[in-house]
């Protein structure tokens, strides 16, 4: 304890510092560390054999594949629309902009189950708004991949936007205007100037979306209809296996899901350059300049 | 041939940035748009560049109607106050940008970039990133980038505004010399009258969205169209209903000259070689007189002394127009 007293004012504050640290560490341990560690421990309780066996179950491999495909589709869609929406929100003025900005956060606020139900109401082949006509053309959305992709996309919608918008705001439109005056058209400006500027925000948003999409349970469970072996994603299967007393398989899949998330975050931490944030000073200066 | 702006009006909500501005900016010259902050000069520049659009009026660049032309087709070079460097590109890449967009052959681009970096004295920094450059170097790079596309007109928006005083002065001299070499029609915005007087061939004084006066630095200084221009281009003081320069006032210790204004010296401030004398005239107004230390000593001006003030012969004077 004496070693930290150099950074604090008195012995009283040293105690406070240590108590605060203990609280934070304890909080993180009981909430995140211990449960995650238990998953890992249970997975490898009987050595790696149980783990590899669990992964040979065709249900498991199918669910994992499905999860990956659905997540990748959802991320691709969210990437495209996320970047587009961010540009719209930051660079353009239009009526209803604040309402749109608030609406984008809706998926974070609404329970995923409700999202699933809402999608069923619209696309159900028997009584949904579009469902009947789509079904007549042989397009099935609910209880099939398109519905699962839609539900996942909906749930992960704000993640790319919320990462990209502050960086775009920080960046200002000076560089884009300069590119414009040098003869670049909108596409060239986006590709050569805007995108490199928001690159890390986009990567971070994509990774967060990927992690969120892989783990989505509620919304997907509702729209997937749980056609066993067909529309069961990894998180849904974890629940099924657990309830069917196949705990070992459930742990193995849980471990994989946790590992995927951790790998995602580690990759981002490694990729992300230390000075990727543009200085706030230049951004404020740019605003002042516009005001003059 | 020139840049002709006619009937230009621009409002931001209730704020009138430009109010029916008509002005012609001559080809091949270095023109300053001078005025106080918020006077509309930057807006005018941005409209000429196509970065903003006017509510009404037309812009013609070298005889070519440009009012509805997008910025990228106007062939103007624009230099921003805060440089607007492309942060993720090296110095050479920044300068090459406009040429790469125009799909010029690689060899030509390399040659032109080398020439321009030579011109702005940044050759040894060609592979650096902008974050490794000082403010003055960044602005020179931005200038080279704008010149690379051989613009019809070079527009600079408070180009030295973000730099410290010493670098600003260096770059100002350098811009003047550069213009004498390159001869591109250049328009720059500034609120610094000294900068405008020192660098520009022609000055357009803009205030409250209107053009107050257009003319050479000497014309503006010697024959200001009104007391705003007079006040903006240097220190002024009011004496007997006239706006005059404080150094254009003769101080006499006796009421010798007809029409002189009597008063009492209330404060004397010495700054180096200069002496600033505040005189309260008998009608209660305050006048500021500046003179050299030598003159002050030989006249015998001191606090409390009774003096008579006259505008010097040939002094620029404008009737006071606004109630103070």
| CA separation for the pair B117, B125 (Å, rounded) | 9
ipTM of the predicted assembly exceeds 0.85: no
Question: Has residue A93 been placed in a domain?
Answer: yes
Over residues A216-235, the mean pLDDT reads 82
Nearest to B88 among A178, A180, A197 (CB): A197
Domain around A201: 54-291
Partner-chain contact B80 A177, CB within 8 Å: yes
Q: What is the overall mean pLDDT for chain B?
A: 90
Portion 253-282 of A in contact with B at CB < 8 A: 275, 278, 282
The mean of the pLDDT values for chain A is 83
Whether residue A172 is predicted with pLDDT greater than 80 in this model: the reply is yes
Question: Which pLDDT band holds residue A11 (cuts at 50, 70, 90)?
Answer: low
Q: Which helix (H) or strand (E) holds B100?
A: helix B91-101
User: Domain containing A250 — which CATH number?
Assistant: 1.10.3720.10
Strands (E), chain B: 2-12, 15-26, 30-34, 56-61, 64-65, 76-79, 153-157, 185-190, 202-207, 210-215, 237-239, 242-244, 249-252, 261-271, 274-281, 286-292, 306-311, 317-319
pLDDT of A273 reads 64
All structural domains of chain B: 2-228 (3.40.50.300), 237-319 (2.40.50.140)
Q: Are the beta carbons of B211 and B23 closer than 8 angstroms?
A: yes
Residue A200 lies in a domain: yes
A193 shares contact with chain B (CB less than 8 Å):
yes
Q: How many CB pairs under 8 A join A and B?
A: 81
Cβ within 8 Å of A, B 132-171: 142, 145-146, 148-149, 157-158, 161-162
Given a cut of 90, whether residue B174 has pLDDT beyond it is no
In this prediction, residue A198 has a pLDDT band, given cuts at 50, 70 and 90, of: very high
Q: CA angle, corner A23, sides to A22 and A24, nearest 5?
A: 95
Residues A20 and A156 in one domain: no
A287 interfaces chain B, CB cutoff of 8 Å: no
The encoded tokens of residue A159 equal 């993640």
pLDDT at residue A6 is higher than 50: no
Q: Do B82 and A286 touch (CB under 8 A)?
A: yes
Considering the entire predicted model, what is its pTM? 0.79
Residue at A273 is within a domain: yes
Chain B CB contacts of A182 under 8 Å are 72, 77, 97-98, 101, 145-146, 148-149
> Are A213 and A112 in the same domain?
yes
Whether A140 and A14 share a structural domain? no
Quote the CA–CA distance of A251 and B278 in Å, as a whole number. 89
- The string of pLDDT tens digits covering residues B307-318 is 998 888 888 888
Does residue A145 form part of some domain?
Answer: yes
The reply to whether A234 and A175 lie within a common domain is yes
Same domain, A166 and A272: yes
Residue A48 located in a structural domain: no
Residue of A nearest to B135 (CA): A282
Q: Do A282 and B78 touch (CB under 8 A)?
A: no
Phi-psi region of B36 (alpha: psi -120 to 50; beta: other; left: phi over 0): beta
Would A26 be classed as within a structural domain?
Answer: yes
- Give the residue-averaged pLDDT of A282-287: 41
Regarding whether A164 and A106 lie in a shared domain, the answer is yes
**Stretch A214-222: mean pLDDT, rounded?**
87
Residues A66 and A37 in one domain: no
| Structural domain includes residue A160 | yes
**Residue A290: per-residue pLDDT:** 41
Give yes or no: residues A195 and A73 share one domain. yes
Three-state secondary-structure class, residue A84: helix
- Chain A residues with CB inside 8 Å of B102's CB? 183
A265, two tokens: 């975050």
Instruction: Identify whether A49 is part of a domain.
Output: no
* Residue A185 at interface with chain B, using a CB cutoff of 8 Å: yes
Q: B131: which chain A residues are within 8 Å (Cβ-Cβ)?
A: 275
For residues A182 and A39, membership in a common domain is answered with: no
Which residue has 């936007």 as its token pair? A161
Check CB contact under 8 Å for B146 and A181.
Answer: yes
Q: Measured between CB atoms, does B90 come within 8 Å of chain A?
A: no
Confidence (pLDDT) at B214:
94
**CA–CA distance, B260 with B258 (Å, rounded to integer):** 6
Question: Between vectors from CA A273 to CA A91 and to CA B91, what angle results, nearest 5°?
Answer: 70
Span A265-286, average pLDDT: 58
DSSP SS3 for B238: strand
Distance from chain centroid for Cα B20: 21
Interchain CB distance below 8 Å, A180 and B51: yes
Total domains in chain A come to: 2
Q: Is the pLDDT of residue A288 over 70?
A: no
How many other C-beta atoms lie within 10 A of the C-beta of residue B87? 18
Nearest chain A residue to B42 by CA distance is A292
Phi, psi (degrees; rounded to nearest 5) at B195: -60, -45
Angle of helix B91-101 relative to helix B135-148, nearest 10 degrees?
20
Residue B47: closest C-alpha in chain A: A181
- Cβ pair B30, B176 in contact under 8 A: yes
A61 token code pair: 């491999």
Q: Select the residue of B38, B78, B158 nearest A178 (Cβ to Cβ).
A: B78
Question: What is the edge-to-edge ordering of all strands in the sheet holding B210-215?
Answer: B76-79, B153-157, B185-190, B30-34, B202-207, B210-215
- Kindly state whether residues A256 and A166 are assigned to the same domain: yes
Question: Is the minimum CB–CB distance between B74 and chain A shorter than 8 Å?
Answer: yes
Would you call A181 and B78 a contact, using CB atoms and an 8 Å cutoff?
yes
Do A150 and A123 lie in a common domain?
yes
Whether residues A16 and A83 fall in one domain: no
Q: Determine contact: B119 vs chain A, CB below 8 A.
A: no
User: B49, A181: Cβ pair inside 8 Å?
Assistant: yes
């Amino acid at each position: 304890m004496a070693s930290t007293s150099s950074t604090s004012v008195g012995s009283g504050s040293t105690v406070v510092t240590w108590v605060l640290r203990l609280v934070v560490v304890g909080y993180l341990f009981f909430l995140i560390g211990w449960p995650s560690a238990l998953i890992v421990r249970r997975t490898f309780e009987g050595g790696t054999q149980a783990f590899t066996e669990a992964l040979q179950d065709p249900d498991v491999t199918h669910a994992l594949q499905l999860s990956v495909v659905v997540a990748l589709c959802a991320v691709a869609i969210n990437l495209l629309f996320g970047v587009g929406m961010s540009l719209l929100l930051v660079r353009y003025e239009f009526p209803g902009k604040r309402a749109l900005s608030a609406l984008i956060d809706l998926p974070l606020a609404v329970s995923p189950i409700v999202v699933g139900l809402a999608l069923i109401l619209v696309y159900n082949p028997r009584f949904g708004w579009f469902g009947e006509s789509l079904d007549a053309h042989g397009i099935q959305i609910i209880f099939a991949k398109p519905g699962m992709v839609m539900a996942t996309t909906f749930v992960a919608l704000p993640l790319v936007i919320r990462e990209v918008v502050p960086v775009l705001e920080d960046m200002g439109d000076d560089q884009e205007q300069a590119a414009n005056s040098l003869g670049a058209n909108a596409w060239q400006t986006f590709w050569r100037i805007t995108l490199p500027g928001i690159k890390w925000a986009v990567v971070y948003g994509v990774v967060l979306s990927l992690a969120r999409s892989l783990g989505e349970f509620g919304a997907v469970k509702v729209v997937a209809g749980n056609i066993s072996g067909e529309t069961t994603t990894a998180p849904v299967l974890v629940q099924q296996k657990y309830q069917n007393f196949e705990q070992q398989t459930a742990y193995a899949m849980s471990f994989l899901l946790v590992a995927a998330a951790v790998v995602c975050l580690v990759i981002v931490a490694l990729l992300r350059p230390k000075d990727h944030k543009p200085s706030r000073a230049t951004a404020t200066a740019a605003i002042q300049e516009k005001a003059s | 041939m020139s840049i002709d702006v006619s009937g230009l009006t621009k409002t931001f909500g209730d704020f009138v940035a430009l109010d029916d501005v008509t002005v012609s900016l001559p080809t091949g010259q270095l023109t300053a748009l001078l005025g106080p902050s918020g006077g509309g000069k930057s807006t005018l520049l941005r409209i000429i560049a196509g970065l903003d659009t006017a509510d009404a009026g037309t812009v013609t660049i070298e005889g070519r109607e440009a009012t509805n032309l997008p910025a990228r087709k106007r062939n103007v070079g624009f230099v921003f106050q805060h440089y607007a460097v492309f942060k993720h590109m090296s110095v050479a890449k920044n300068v090459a940008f406009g040429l790469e967009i125009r799909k010029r052959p690689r060899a030509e681009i390399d040659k032109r970039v080398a020439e321009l970096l030579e011109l702005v004295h940044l050759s040894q920094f060609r592979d650096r990133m902008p974050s490794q450059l000082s403010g003055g170097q960044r602005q020179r790079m931005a200038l080279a980038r704008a010149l690379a596309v051989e613009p019809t007109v070079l527009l600079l928006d408070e180009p030295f505004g973000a730099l410290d005083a010493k670098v600003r002065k260096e770059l100002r001299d350098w811009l003047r010399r550069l213009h004498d070499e390159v001869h591109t029609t250049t328009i720059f915005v500034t609120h610094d009258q000294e900068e405008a007087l020192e660098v520009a061939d022609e000055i357009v004084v803009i205030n409250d969205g209107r053009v107050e006066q257009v003319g050479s630095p000497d014309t503006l200084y010697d024959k200001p169209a009104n007391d705003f221009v007079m006040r903006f281009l240097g220190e002024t003081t009011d004496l007997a209903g006239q706006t005059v320069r404080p150094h254009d006032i003769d101080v006499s210790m006796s009421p010798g000259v007809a029409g002189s204004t009597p008063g009492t010296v209330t404060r004397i401030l010495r700054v180096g070689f200069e002496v600033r004398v505040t005189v309260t005239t008998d009608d209660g107004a305050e006048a500021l007189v500046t003179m050299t230390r030598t003159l002050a000593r030989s006249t015998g001006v001191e606090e409390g002394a009774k003096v008579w003030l006259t505008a010097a012969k040939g002094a620029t004077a404008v009737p006071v127009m606004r109630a103070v």
